Amino acid sequence: MKLFKKLGSLLVAAACVCSLVACGSKTADKVIKVGASPTPHALILEAARPLIEAKGYKLEIVEFTDYVLPNTSLQAGELDANYFQHEPYLLDFNANNGTDLVSVGAIHFEPLGIYPGKVTALSALPETLTIAIPNDKTNRGRALLLLNQLGLIELSTTEHGFEGTTTADIKDAKGVTIREIEAANIPNILQDVSFGVINGNYALAAKISDKALATEATDSLAATKTANVIAVKRGNEETEKTKVLLEALKSDTVKKYIQDTFGSSVIPVF
């Protein structure tokens, strides 16, 4: 009799453990973990949080301040999605790092802008200038095309587009020295250069987005090609988590939040 009681107790305990494991697994399945840049991406995700929770999911936002870890973490399965980059950068990252990440939807466009450093205006310029631009492939090209558009440099061709344009395409530097810097660091070194060409999210984070002297046009090639996207690991494009996240971010509620909060610095594209 004692043996049967002991076996019964063990079975009950095992059942409880199994129940707890299943419960924990079920809870984990209801968490959508998204990697994002702090501004504006994490803020936009916060605006989507109530809509995600209304679908029975918990949103966990993991903030990153660089352009590498959000992708390597997503590839490693530590995130369900990320939101910080445009598709040309994503494709280039895949090619260079062996990752297999895909865009599942574009959310907003951040115009690249030129910001004052030692020089505060685009008129009455000194004979020599030092301009900091992003050093990643896509944003470097965008920056050089913007400088060409403003007449600060002259490119031999613009046919390479923003993905293929490099400093080798500069026909006439017009006294400009280009410094290629990691995009996130440019706001921090403005005091050391004449101008800095800065991504919209980093300008917002540095609280200087209202100081842009010029930006890419909202109807430019960059606007159509470099909208910031939600990325997932290939194979997760049609999961319920992905669908819930996209539906919330592409809602009228989030669109209004973006427009009211960021003005012309962040433009919804859905």
Long-range contacts, 71-74 (Cβ 8 Å, 24+)? 71/97, 71/99, 71/101, 71/231, 72/97, 72/99, 73/35, 74/35, 74/99, 74/101, 74/231, 74/232, 74/233
pLDDT digits (tens, 9 = 90+) for 98-144: 999 999 999 999 999 999 999 999 999 999 999 999 999 889 999 99
In this structure, what token pair is assigned to residue 36? 């994002």
pLDDT digits (tens, 9 = 90+) for 161-185: 888 999 999 999 999 999 999 999 9
Q: Does 83 fall in a domain?
A: yes
- Give the pLDDT band (50/70/90) at residue 23: very low
Q: What is the CATH number for 74? A: 3.40.190.10
Q: Residue 2 and residue 160: Cα distance in Å, rounded?
A: 82
Give the rounded percent of residues in the chain with a pLDDT score beyond 90. 78
Range of the structural domain that residue 198 is part of: 113-216
Identify whether residues 88 and 146 lie together within a single domain: no
Q: Return the closest-CA partner of residue 49 out of 36, 37, 32.
A: 32
Identify whether residues 46 and 87 lie together within a single domain: yes
- Give the pLDDT band (50/70/90) at residue 201: confident
Number of domains in the chain: 2
Identify whether residues 158 and 252 lie together within a single domain: no
Q: Return the closest-CA partner of residue 179 out of 164, 165, 196, 198.
A: 196
Q: Does 167 fall in a domain?
A: yes
Identify whether residues 140 and 161 lie together within a single domain: yes
124: left (phi over 0), alpha (psi -120 to 50) or beta: left
Which pTM does this prediction carry?
Answer: 0.73
Identify whether residues 230 and 249 lie together within a single domain: yes
Q: Does 249 fall in a domain?
A: yes
94 burial (CB, 10 Å; 0-12 / 13-18 / 19+) is middle
Q: Does 5 fall in a domain?
A: no
